[in-house]
Structure 1
Amino acid sequence: MRKFIGLLFVILMLPVWADPAPELIYLDSMRTGGESVKVTTRIIVDEPGEPTRESVLDVYAHQDGRSLAVYRNDREAGQKVLMVDDQFWLFMPDSKRALRITPMQKLLGDASVGDVASLAWAEDYEVVERTQQDDRTLLYLNARRRGLSYQQIELTVESETQHPIEADFYLKSGKLAKQAKFELVETDGEWVMRGLSLSDQVQSQRTTRIVYDAIEPMNLLDKWFTPAYLLRSTP
């Protein structure tokens, strides 16, 4: 009987996640369509008095949450970043080992690894509160896992259309890390996410844009998401 009670206690203590919120499912669908895709991504940084900086990556996003970012521009060609669950690895050209990194590792400007590689908010976050502000809805999101870049997000959407407008990202400490404004376009009668603009309170004059130039459904091979393969090859 004691063993049964102990087992029951363990089961009751396991986290029970609520179903993904419709607003987050819609946001993800505007970005990837809920499929396994290749997203051709540009990071563009503009800063007063400085030349524009830019990086180009192909992000292979699996529908199960795994992702792989491969640099395509000449300056960083051959660099790769792999995300599996809460683990991130950086692969450098000609290196014989992968480097463990965090999702907060900067790529360019205010864009971090997690900003580019984590494209499944419906799986990563749960809505814990909603408030209405005129024609907008403010959603308070909590991370489902401790390893995510941001433990809380305040997401603002249009109440009628559920189109994402802006978001505030908070660290584990509760500090505001950065803010984002979403860029949407209508294509063939459907709204899709073109990208987002990032800013922080420290570098207030700098603007970092993550632009999704092309989104292509693709059959992604499991071996592409293994360190052993990526040390030898690139998709």
Structure 2
Amino acid sequence: MTDHFRSRRKFLGMFASSLIAPAIAPAAWAAEDAPEAPVDEAAVRIVTKADEIRFPRDSFQTEIEVQNFSDGEPGETRKFRILSRGNENTIVLTLEPVSERGQALLMRGRDLWIFMPSVSQPVRLSLAQRLTGQVANGDLARANFAGDYTPTLVGTEKLDGINAQVLDLTAVDRGVTYAKVKYWVSEKDGRPLKAEFFALSGRLLKSCRYEEFRELAGRVRPTRLVMEDALKKGEISVLSYSNMVLQDLPERLFTREYLRRLS
């Protein structure tokens, strides 16, 4: 049995298990969706601007390296290429490990499928299922806080010496990645600083810090995200963004038929 076949069989086994026991976040939707809240226009503007700082509004391509750590010790490293067309269409291509190259995620709206070379049909996934380490599918495939959450501005506070606006974000429906988010945004320039992700019960699942702001695709953006598990201390994933370019991506790319050819 070749190393490649062993790796593929191991991945399929892990993937099948993840369908039975997805990441913690889906349990957040055990209850009914919350009633619609009144719109806080100031909060919507803050979140929309932060979204546009994190990622371009127009079609783009970028690469992401995810390095996982456990108690300070480096673990698995994965690399992905992201193709995004607006907020509703995204392809996540696996570049490394090489044994999983050809695997792809397709997001259209809040519908998500995985394509694998060894499986004839795509498999439906949830945005909340774990992709690797502390990273959920939706963390890479969908980053549209303004469209997925109803924001409320709850105050201001200092965060690492920076004046930050603090917002509570409530999911608009059960199809999004997290039930609730607490979000810190710089009062001075609108940059995202930190997010905490919660289950519907109010339990903190993980936190994320936005760091190392540099120019990508014509705008200063966070190039490093640090995600830390709130339930298992010391479990961290570091996401590093590079090679972000604006690129015209036709809608025909974002179809299951096209992804079947790619995988």
> Please, what TM-score do these two structures have when normalized by structure 2?
0.76
Does the 8 A contact of 1:32 with 1:215 survive in 2? Answer: no
Does the 8 A contact of 1:61 with 1:119 survive in 2? Answer: no
Match of 1:182 among 206, 210, 231: 210
76-85 vs 41-50, greater mean Cα deviation: 41-50
Q: Report what 1:205 is aligned to.
A: 234
Q: Report what 1:98 is aligned to.
A: 122
The one-character-per-residue Cα deviations of 1:154-201 (angstroms, maximum 9, x if unpaired) are 001222222221111112343222111111324399531113110112
Match of 1:153 among 161, 181, 200: 181
In the aligned structure 1, how far is the partner of 2:157 from the partner of 2:72?
38
Write the letter of the residue equivalent to 2:190. Answer: Q
In the aligned structure 1, how far is the partner of 2:87 from the partner of 2:189?
26
1:191 and 2:220 aligned: yes
3-state SS, counterpart of residue 231 of structure 1: helix
Match of 1:25 among 35, 44, 48: 48
- Map 1:111-190 → 2, pairs under 5 A: 111-134=135-158, 135-187=163-215, 190=219
The one-character-per-residue Cα deviations of 1:109-148 (angstroms, maximum 9, x if unpaired) are 1111011111222222231232122522211112223200
Q: Report what 1:65 is aligned to.
A: 88
Structure 1 residues 172 and 86, CA, compared in 2 at 3 Å: closer, same or farther? farther
Higher-helix-fraction structure: 2
Does the 8 A contact of 1:110 with 1:199 survive in 2? Answer: yes
Identity %: 23
3-state SS, counterpart of residue 123 of structure 1: helix
Give the unaligned 5+ runs of structure 1.
1-12
Write the letter of the residue equivalent to 1:112. Answer: A
Give the unaligned 5+ runs of structure 2.
1-34
1:77 and 2:101 aligned: yes
Kindly name which structure, 1 or 2, has the bigger radius of gyration based on alpha carbons: 1
- RMSD of equivalent CA atoms: 2.5
Q: Report what 1:8 is aligned to.
A: none
1:47 and 2:70 aligned: yes
Write the letter of the residue equivalent to 2:80. Answer: L
